[in-house]
């Protein structure tokens, strides 16, 4: 296949580039580098089947030649990024998705849109099944990401229904691993960075809020299986093993062998109280389930962070 990956220099995007090149496909990586980084793809620059295009997907995009598949992964994804870049976040989820869908229509390519567990907002149903419609504050600081992704899902289904494009929507739950930025702001890089530097681990709120963490290779496997499937409705991809943030901080302390203390700071506005994917659908229809335990995945991530610090 000849595949376009928007946000291909980002955290998950760059792992997707590796994966498709490894399977012998041609990959065009498009990124405007506002949160992605050239370093994530620098090892691929000499690959004959790889091409990098620095471009903003919210402006009109065109690609010479055929395309078989598009994966739209461009977007700020860390709360500190989308709160700092609210308009870019809204535009990449709306105008960017529109452009990606238009290109898929023109090229008769299938397209997979990266959505998120944030479409469920601060969920009132737990764990979250794909049939749950969510509890999102449209005008809160997180609304820029949540509503952009909800719009992305809506326009994707409209293109599927009206233009009969083969569309897919993956709802990605918290994913971590190599290539997350040290100062990404999300809980995994924050805690690992703090623990390795001997600084206090910053828990927001009382630490009783929960998250469920998936290692990047598992998330990428789920995405590839969804792309290769016949499904057009959204599918949750994530690891259901759920921890409170306080429990998670203690895991990081243990795995880094760190003497860092824990400090409590203010909880950000609209921070979801619980989150755990119901992955029944992915298990049944994609024959996918996560394989890497938190201990193993966090262990690999710590190793990578040690090299970067």
Contact residues: ligand UDP, CB under 6 A: 79, 174, 186-187, 190, 202-204, 209, 211, 245, 268, 271
Q: How far apart are CA 105 and CA 166, in angstroms?
A: 9
Shortest distance in whole angstroms from residue 67 CB to ligand UDP:
31
* Strand-pair partners of 82: none
Q: Is the CB of 14 or the CB of 190 nearer to ligand UDP?
A: 190
Shortest distance in whole angstroms from residue 159 CB to ligand UDP:
27
Residue nearest to ligand UDP (CB): 186
Helices and strands (H and E) in the chain: how many:
9, 13
Chain centroid to CA 57: how far? Answer: 17
Shortest distance in whole angstroms from residue 118 CB to ligand UDP:
6
Q: Which two tokens stand for residue 167?
A: 């569309």
Q: Which residues are catalytic?
A: 145
Q: Is the CB of 91 or the CB of 211 nearer to ligand UDP?
A: 211
Q: Which two tokens stand for residue 253?
A: 């302390």
CA angle 78, 80, 82 (to 5 degrees): 70
On whether the CB atoms of residues 194 and 200 are closer than 8 A, the answer is yes
Q: Is the CB of 128 or the CB of 174 nearer to ligand UDP?
A: 174
Shortest distance in whole angstroms from residue 184 CB to ligand UDP:
8
Distances in whole angstroms, Cα of residue 15 to Cα of each of 41, 102, 175, 256, 258: 9, 25, 12, 24, 29
**Within a 10 A sphere around the Cβ of 49, how many other Cβ atoms?**
14
Q: Is the CB of 58 or the CB of 174 nearer to ligand UDP?
A: 174
Q: Is the CB of 66 or the CB of 265 nearer to ligand UDP?
A: 265
Q: Is the CB of 99 or the CB of 209 nearer to ligand UDP?
A: 209
On whether the CB atoms of residues 88 and 34 are closer than 8 A, the answer is yes
Distances in whole angstroms, Cα of residue 24 to Cα of each of 7, 19, 20, 104, 195: 20, 9, 7, 21, 39
Residues 6+ apart with CB under 8 A from 242: 127, 210, 211, 212, 274, 275, 276
DSSP string, 193-223: HHHHHTPPEEEETTS--EEE-EEHHHHHHHH
Shortest distance in whole angstroms from residue 206 CB to ligand UDP:
10
């Amino acid at each position: 296949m000849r595949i376009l990956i928007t946000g291909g220099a980002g955290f998950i995007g760059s792992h997707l580039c590796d994966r498709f090149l490894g399977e012998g496909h041609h990959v065009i990586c498009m990124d405007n580098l506002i949160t992605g980084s050239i370093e994530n793809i620098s090892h691929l620059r000499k690959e004959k089947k790889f091409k990098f295009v620095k471009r903003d997907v919210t402006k009109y995009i065109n690609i010479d030649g055929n395309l078989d598949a598009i994966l739209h992964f461009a977007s700020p994804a860390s709360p500190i990024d989308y709160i700092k870049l609210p308009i870019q976040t809204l535009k990449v989820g709306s105008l960017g998705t529109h452009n990606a869908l238009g290109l898929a229509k023109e090229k008769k390519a299938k397209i997979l849109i990266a959505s998120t567990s944030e479409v469920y907002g601060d969920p009132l149903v737990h764990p979250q099944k794909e049939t749950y419609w969510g509890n999102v504050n449209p005008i809160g600081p997180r609304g820029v990401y949540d509503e952009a992704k909800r719009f992305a899902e809506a326009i994707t289904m409209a293109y599927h229904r009206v233009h009969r494009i083969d569309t897919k929507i993956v709802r990605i739950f918290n994913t971590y691993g190599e290539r997350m930025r040290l100062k990404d702001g999300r809980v995994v890089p924050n805690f690992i960075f703090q623990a390795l530097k001997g600084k206090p681990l910053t828990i927001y709120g009382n630490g009783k809020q929960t998250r469920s963490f998936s290692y990047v290779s598992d998330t990428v496997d789920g995405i590839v299986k969804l792309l290769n499937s016949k499904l057009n409705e959204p599918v949750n991809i994530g690891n259901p093993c759920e921890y409170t943030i306080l429990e998670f901080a203690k895991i990081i302390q243990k795995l880094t062998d760190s003497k860092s203390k824990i400090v409590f700071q203010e909880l950000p506005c609209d921070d979801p109280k619980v989150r755990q994917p119901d992955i029944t659908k992915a298990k049944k229809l994609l024959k996918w389930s996560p394989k890497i335990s938190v201990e193993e995945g966090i262990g690999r991530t710590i190793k990578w962070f040690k090299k970067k610090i």
